[in-house]
Amino acid sequence: MKQGVTILGATGSIGASSLDVIARHPDRFEVFALTANANVKSLVELCRRFRPTVAVIADPALGSALRAALRAADLPTEARAGAAALAEVAADARAGIVIAAIVGAAGLLPTFAAARAGKRLLLANKEAIVCAGALLMDAVRMGGAELLPVDSEHNAIHQCLAGAADRASSVRRLVLTASGGPFRTRQDMRGITPNEAVAHPNWVMGRKISVDSATLMNKGLEVIEASWLFGFAPEKIDVVIHPQSVIHSMVEFGDGSVVAQLGTPDMRTPIAYCLGYPERVESGSSRLDFLALNALTFEAPDRTRFPCLQLAYDVLARGAAASIALNAANEIAVEAFLGGRLSFDAIAPVIETTLARASMLPPGDVNDVVELDRAARALARSICAQRAGVR
């Protein structure tokens, strides 16, 4: 029997990789629903190729445009629109697998809906667990969901931990690897352009995530994510720069053994792992040629040149509200940078100032998370505007 799959954020890079893997296994998987934020044209094109039962556009103002485009393409796919529709389709019983790939805090509510509905939840949305780690893990437990991380680093750790009977006593530390991004050896961070920041040396990613990689905030968010996913304190989670992106992460055990997961830098590998788990299914990624590897090198991250990494470690000790503010401020600052309204070297100061001024009241539920996120975004926008005014 085929498994129904819903992809939240189907028009992004994770969505494209997921659909590629799914298309390789028509006997195992079928697309039930696809969603997009505002790109009606791309969503309809995907519907033409994969024939989902439902398509959802997050922007409610584009609902009629989606319906008209699906009719014009003579497709039977049902069109829905808005945030409530995203949550509804994430919980729909006709799909047992939900791939949560919506970038940013917009993915929070549908991810929770999938967890509460007991789905196999393939988590590619860092923000859901960064902003609401305890609440999300509770929703997974209460809903009987199965949470599998798509991020290559956390997926690698999941693989390395397989068979570890007692993680608390047997694991010495988790080691997240980072490519170092496009500015790994650059000393002067002034004058960096958006096109330079999104030119990742190894991975093909969206613009926002590429900037996060350039600032090392992506790795900082992954530290927070790893803490919640695997239940380890921040002092047991290390980051090491590994420019070749061949080792995706490692686990060091108490007996001195280190288990690492290796592979080519292709997101189809962790996606295939999650879709087929515990079986292994073909991903389409190229094989790792050990004879072609010149060297595997490692460096300590420079937290002075890349202060976002340290900021992420700091907020883990400050509680959930600090993580929410960190994530919100980062999204606003990156958006301003990509829009030409903020310099690259001002991203971290905007986040730091937001953390100093934002509310630190702990959220009691998802609605509190949404409100803290909204307030932190408004504060970060104001700080960005002030910095732009004095440049």
How far apart are the C-alpha atoms of 77 and 67, rounded to whole Å?
9
Q: Enter the tokens of residue 323.
A: 């993580």
Neighbours of 241 (CB within 10 A): 19
pLDDT for 127 equals 80
pLDDT for 201 equals 75
Beta strands at 146-149 and 171-178: parallel, antiparallel or unpaired: unpaired
User: Are the C-beta atoms of residues 224 and 149 closer than 8 Å to each other?
Assistant: no
- What is the average pLDDT value for the chain, to the nearest integer? 94
Confidence of residue 391 (pLDDT cuts 50, 70, 90): very low
Beta strands at 258-262 and 237-241: parallel, antiparallel or unpaired: unpaired
Q: Which residues pair with 253 in a beta bridge?
A: 171
Q: Enter the tokens of residue 377.
A: 């975004």
pLDDT for 389 equals 57
Mean pLDDT across 242-261: 94
Residue 64 has pLDDT above 50, yes or no: yes
319, 359, 309, 9: which is closest to 133 by C-alpha? 319
Residue 153 has pLDDT above 60, yes or no: yes
pLDDT in tens, 166-199: 676 789 999 999 999 899 999 999 999 999 999 8
pLDDT in tens, 211-226: 999 999 999 999 999 9
pLDDT for 20 equals 98
**How many residues are present in the chain?**
391
pLDDT in tens, 331-384: 999 999 999 999 999 999 999 999 999 999 999 998 899 999 999 999 999 999
How far apart are the C-alpha atoms of 2 and 97, rounded to whole Å?
11
**What phi and psi, each to the nearest 5 degrees, are found at residue 100?**
-90, 95
Q: The dihedral of CA 192, 196, 205, 83: what is its sign?
A: positive
Mean pLDDT across 54-71: 97
How far apart are the C-alpha atoms of 366 and 120, rounded to whole Å?
20
How far apart are the C-alpha atoms of 85 and 43, rounded to whole Å?
15
pTM score over 0.85: yes
